[in-house]
Structure 1
């Protein structure tokens, strides 16, 4: 389990709704030029992003990093595939687990830790529709109990 010590820039709230997150890993990002400046400005969107493993290396796809406003013609492409920096054992574990039916590698949050951009990725098993409804019922019940206790 990876522990988050940095400043959270973006979160993928939909991931916990769509997946049972079984294990998390902290990964570094390989960035180009002005991407880190856009990340520090908070111009990152994890919606619809996913991670894949190609040729023994992990990549994050569809993560949108907006072009830097003060950038010039050498600005980056917003949704390009970015390499994730993981240990070999972590990549091997992700390969083995993600090949099972129903498992996906999902980015959960982007944050800055010790001056470096990090991504928290999770190994998630897809939820069925009834699982999602059950989670919403439990959240609503917890909210109602908390509200009742507060009103006393």
Structure 2
């Protein structure tokens, strides 16, 4: 059962996603409680491989209402992603290529854990973005025509 927390539609528009990875996130208690309240923003979030670890930047988890000042977390702190070593090495190799980056695609619950889906993406320019939208609309229209044709065949 995957419960969607947030989706980064901007990343899906701006990047051509070549590969996807699921990663756990190292969180503090107030961060988890704040996510349960729906206070997560992943629109500018991205990952980087540094010092043999994968780090998550710009993931915005707003402050938890009921926490006191001592237990409160910093909203945009750098968080560690939990991946297998072979996945980290593969991501490191892929990000060394020119033009590839690791945008955050979505955040979701898997059982009682928060998971982040990151993608290996190549940035699109404006022309490519328009082309992708046109292809998507053409595919959607073709599906509608097929559905209408199938409905007429049943009656």
State the TM-score, normalizing by the size of structure 1: 0.89
Contact between 1:33 and 1:75, CA under 8 Å: does it hold in 2? no
What runs of 5+ residues in structure 2 fail to find an aligned partner? none
1:71 equivalent to 2:91? Answer no
Gaps of 5+ in 1: none
Q: Secondary structure at the match of 2:131?
A: helix
Deviations 1:5-33 (A, max 9, x none): 42110111111101111111110110112
Residues in 2 aligned to 1:93 and 1:145: alpha-carbon distance in whole angstroms: 37
Following the alignment from structure 2 to structure 1, what is the Cα–Cα distance between the partners of residues 93 and 136?
Answer: 33
**Structure 2: distance between partners of 1:66 and 1:115:** 20
Corresponding position of 2:55: 59
The alignment status of 1:29 with 2:25, answered yes or no, reads: yes
Verify: 1:106 aligned to 2:99, yes or no: no
Larger Rg belongs to = 2
Cα offset, 1:69, TM superposition? 1.0
Partner secondary structure for residue 118 of structure 1: strand
2:13 aligned with 1:17, yes or no? yes
1:139 CA drift (Å): 2.8
Q: Which runs of structure 2 are paired with 1:3-152 in the superposition (5 Å)?
A: 5-73=1-69, 74-145=71-142
Deviations 1:81-140 (A, max 9, x none): 000000000000000000101100111111111101110111111112221010122233
Q: Distance in 2 between matches of 1:94 and 1:141?
A: 33
RMSD: 1.8
